Chain A
Amino acid sequence: MKKVRLVLVGLVVLAFLVGCASKPTKEIEDTTAAVKAVIAEGLDKYAPEDAKKLNDALAAIDAELKVQDGKTFKSFDKTKQMLADLSKMAAEMKAALPAKKEAAKQAAVAAVEAAKAAAEEAKKLLAKAPKGKGTAADIEALKGDVKGVDDALVEVQGLIDKEDYAAAVTKANAVKEKAAAVAAQVTQALEKQKAGKKK
C-alpha cells in the first residue's frame, strides 16, 4: 500500500513538472507571425534598426528554447516573457509604421513635385527661346535633354508606385539637378542670341 502511494505521489509530481514545462508553441507561432507581418509591411525599409531589433529578439528566444530543450526539467517562463515582450514590441512598431511610411511617401512626393517644377521651368524657357542665329543647334540639343528629364520623371513615379520612396527621392533630386542645368543652358543660349543681335 505504501509503495502504491509512493508511485502515485511520484506520478503526480512528474505530471506537475512536465505540465509546467510545456513548450509555448502557440505563442512562438503567433509572435513569429507578428514579426514577419510587420517586416513584410516594410519595417526593414522604413525603420531598419527596428527590424533588426525584432530579428535579434527572435534569435534570442530561439537560443533560450535550445537551452530549455537540452534540460531535463524545462522551464519556459523566461521564454514566455521574452515572447510577450517581443509581441508587444512588434505591435508597437506596427502601429508606428504607417506614420513612418507616410512621412517617406510625403518626402518622395515633395521631391518629385520639385523635380517636375524644375522640368516645367526648363520647358517654358525652351519654348520661349527663338530658333535664330546661334541658338538653333543648342536649342535642338536641349530639347533632347528635356526629353531625357521627362523620361526620368516617369521612372521616379514608378518608384513611388512601388513604394520605393528613398530611391524615388534620390532620383527626383537628380532629375531636378539636371532640369536646372538645362534651364541654365537655355538662359545661356538666349543670352548668346541677345549678344549676337547686338553685334
Chain B
Amino acid sequence: MKRTVLAVAILCLFLTGCVKEEPVPPEVSLAEKQEFNLWRAGAPLYLKEPFSRYREALLKSKGDLARVNAQFRWFRNYKSIQAEFAQVIKEGDELFKQLEIEKQKRASMVLEQMKSLRENHYRLEKMTLVIHLGQLSRSYLARAEVALNEVQTLYKGEQYPASEEKLKEAEAYLAKAETAIAPVLNRYKDTSQIAKWKRWATETIEESREKDTYCILIVKANKKLLLYKDGSLSKSYPVGLGHNGWSDKLRAKDNATPEGKYRIIRKNPASRYHRALLINYPNDEDWREFYRAKKRGLLPETAGIGGSIEIHGGGDEGLTYGCISLDNNQLEELYHVVDVGTPVTIVGAVDERNSLSSAGTATPSKRGK
C-alpha cells in the first residue's frame, strides 16, 4: 500500500511541478519587437515585397510556436522554434540594412530632384521678371513653389514617397509655366528671327548714314532706345515696354510692342505722358500679318489691329499697353532732336546671346534658399 502511495505521489510530482518547464525562447519577443520597428521605420512603404515575405515567415513561426505551446508542457520543445525565430530575426536584420540603403537612395533622389526643380523654378521666375509675362505663368510658378515647400517639409520628416508625389506636382506646374513662357522666349533664341532683326537694324543705320539723318533703333532684349546720327550711335536711353512687350504686336489690346520698320508720323507736345512721338503702326507688313493670322483662325473675327503706338514719357520702368516709354527728361531731349519722318525700327534682339536667350543660365545661389 505504502509503495502504491509513493508511486502515485512521484507520478503527481512529475506531472505537475517537478518537471522544469522549458521557457519560451527570447528570440520570440525579439522578433516581434523587430517586426514593429521595421513597420515603424517604413518597411511596408520602401520594401513592400521583402517585408511581406518577412511577415509571412514571422507569422508561420508564430503559428508553429502556438502549436508547441498547445502541447502538454512535458512534450514542449522549443529548439526548432528558437531556430525558426532566429532565422526570422536574421532576415529582419538584413531588411533593416536594405531599408537604410533604400531610404538613403530615395532621400538623395528627392534632394537632387528638389534642387533641380528649385533651380528650374528660379530660372523661370527670373524670366517672368525679365519679360513680364503676366499673371498666368506666375500663378503656376507660385503653385510649384508651394509644392516644393511641401517637399521640403516631407523630406525633413523622412516621408520620401510622399515627397516624390509632391515633386511630380511641382514638376507639372513648372511645365505649365514653361509652356506659357516658351513661345515668347523661343523667338529670342531663333537664329533666323535674330538674323531678320539684325537686317532691319543694319538697313536702318545704313539709311541714317546715307542720308545724314537721325534714326531710332529700339532693342527690346536690352530695353534700350538707340539714337543714331549719320550712321553712328549718338545716345542710348533705357525704355519701358508693353505688359506683353516682348511679343510682337498682332492685334489691339494684346499689350505687345510692335516689331518692324516704322517712322515718326506725328509729334505731340502735350501728351498725357509728357510728350509723345507717334509712329506709323500698323504698317503694310503689320496688316499682312494681321490678315494672315485672321485667315488661319488665330484671331477672333471681331479683333482689330490696334494703333496709337508712341514713344512717350512717363518713366523707363513703367509697363505700357504696347508703347515705348522713357524717362521724361530723356524724352524731352529726344523729342527736340528728331523730326517727323525719322525712321524708328523696333527689334527683339540684335545678338544671339541676348538677355532672354541667356535668361535660363543663372542659378539660385544668391537667393539663400
* Residues of chain A having any CB pair with chain B under 8 Å: 49, 52, 59-60, 63-64, 66-68, 70-71, 132-138, 140-149, 151-152, 170-171, 173-175, 177-178, 181-182
Chain B, range 144-178, C-beta contacts under 8 Å to A = 145-147, 149-150, 152-154
Q: Which residues of B contact A63 (CB under 8 A)?
A: 59, 62-63, 66
Which residues of the other chain, A, contact B18 by a CB distance below 8 angstroms?
none
In the complex, chain B residues whose CB is within 8 Å of the CB of A178: 142, 145-146, 149
Could you show 9 A-B contacts with beta carbons less than 8 Å apart?
A67-B67, A71-B70, A132-B318, A136-B318, A140-B134, A140-B243, A148-B141, A171-B146, A175-B149
Q: Is B317's CB under 8 angstroms from A151's CB? A: no
- B135 near A143 with CB under 8 A, answer yes
Contacts of B137 in A (CB 8 A): 144
Q: Which 3 A-B residue pairings sit nearest by Cβ, starting from the closest?
A: A148-B142, A144-B138, A144-B135
Over the window 261-276 of chain B, the binary record of Cβ atoms lying under 8 Å from chain A Cβ atoms (1 yes, 0 no) is 0000000000000000
- Bound together, the chains give a CA A146 to CA B63 distance in angstroms of 60
Tell yes or no: B228 within 8 A of A by CB.
no
**A70 and B67 contact, CB distance less than 8 A:** yes
Q: How far is the CB of B140 from chain A (nearest CB, A)?
A: 7
Q: In whole Å, how far is A60's beta carbon from the nearest beta carbon of chain B?
A: 7
Q: How far is the CB of B352 from chain A (nearest CB, A)?
A: 25
Q: Which of B40, B62, B153 contacts A173 (CB 8 A)?
A: B153
CA separation between A146 and B138, bound complex, in Å? 9
In the bound complex, CA of A64 to CA of B318 (Å): 80
Query: Measured between alpha carbons, how far is A63 from B140 in the docked complex, in Å?
Result: 54
Complex: how many Å from CA A160 to CA B36? 30
A148, B143: Cβ atoms under 8 Å? yes
Measured between alpha carbons, how far is A182 from B36 in the docked complex, in Å?
44
A171 CB to closest chain B CB (Å) equals 6
B293 at the interface (CB under 8 A from A): no
Q: Given A138-B129, A140-B132, A152 and B146 touching (CB < 8 A)?
A: yes
B59 and A59 contacting across the interface, CB-CB below 8 Å: yes
Q: Within 8 Å CB of A147, what residues of B?
A: 135, 138-139, 142
| Pairwise interchain contact A64-B66, C-beta atoms closer than 8 A | yes
**Using a CB–CB distance below 8 Å, which chain B residues touch chain A?**
36, 39-40, 59, 62-63, 66-67, 69-70, 128-129, 132, 134-143, 145-147, 149-150, 152-154, 243, 315-319
Residues of A close to B142: CB separation below 8 A: 144-149, 151-152, 178, 182
CA distance A59 to B36 in the complex (A): 14
Bound together, the chains give a CA A68 to CA B69 distance in angstroms of: 11
* List of B residues within 8 angstroms of A70 by Cβ: 67
Contacts of B40 in A (CB 8 A): 49
- A89–B62 CA distance with the chains assembled, in angstroms: 21
Contact present for A174 and B147 (CB under 8 Å) = yes
Is A134 a contact partner of B317 (Cβ separation < 8 A)? yes
CA distance A152 to B132 in the complex (A): 22
Are A60 and B62 in contact (CB-based, < 8 A)? yes
Task: Known A67-B70, A137-B132, A145-B139; judge A132-B315 contact (CB<8 A).
Answer: yes
CA distance A55 to B202 in the complex (A): 80
A35 CA to B195 CA, complexed, in Å: 74
**Complex alpha-carbon distance, A138 and B152, angstroms:** 26
Q: How far is the CA of A134 from the CA of B315 in the complex (A)?
A: 8
Residue of B nearest to A137 (CB): B132
Give the docked Cα–Cα distance between A181 and B125 (Å).
13
Q: List 4 other contacts, CB 8 Å, given A133-B315, A133-B318, A137-B129.
A: A59-B62, A67-B63, A140-B319, A144-B137
Q: A151 to B140: give the CA distance in the assembly, Å.
A: 10
Looking at the assembled complex, report how far the CB atom of B126 sits from the nearest CB atom of chain A, in whole angstroms: 11
B66 with A141: CB separation less than 8 A: no
The docked-state distance in angstroms from the alpha carbon of A67 to that of B60 is 11
CB distance from B239 to the nearest CB of A (A): 13
Which chain A residue shows the least CB distance to B149?
A174
Residues in A with CB closer than 8 Å to B70 are 67-68, 71
Asked whether A140 lies within 8 Å of B66 as measured between CB atoms, the reply is no
Give B141's nearest chain A residue, CB to CB.
A148
- Name the B residues within 8 Å of A142 (CB-CB): 138
A136 and B317 within 8 A (CB): yes
Pairwise interchain contact B153-A133, C-beta atoms closer than 8 A: no
Most chain A CB atoms below 10 A, which of B59, B70, B147: B70
| CB-nearest residue of chain A to B314 | A133
Cα(A147)–Cα(B140), bound, Å: 9
Contact A148 B59 (CB under 8 A): no
Q: How far is the CA of A154 from the CA of B142 in the complex (A)?
A: 14
**Which residues does chain B contribute within 8 Å of A148, judged by CB atoms?**
138-143, 145-146
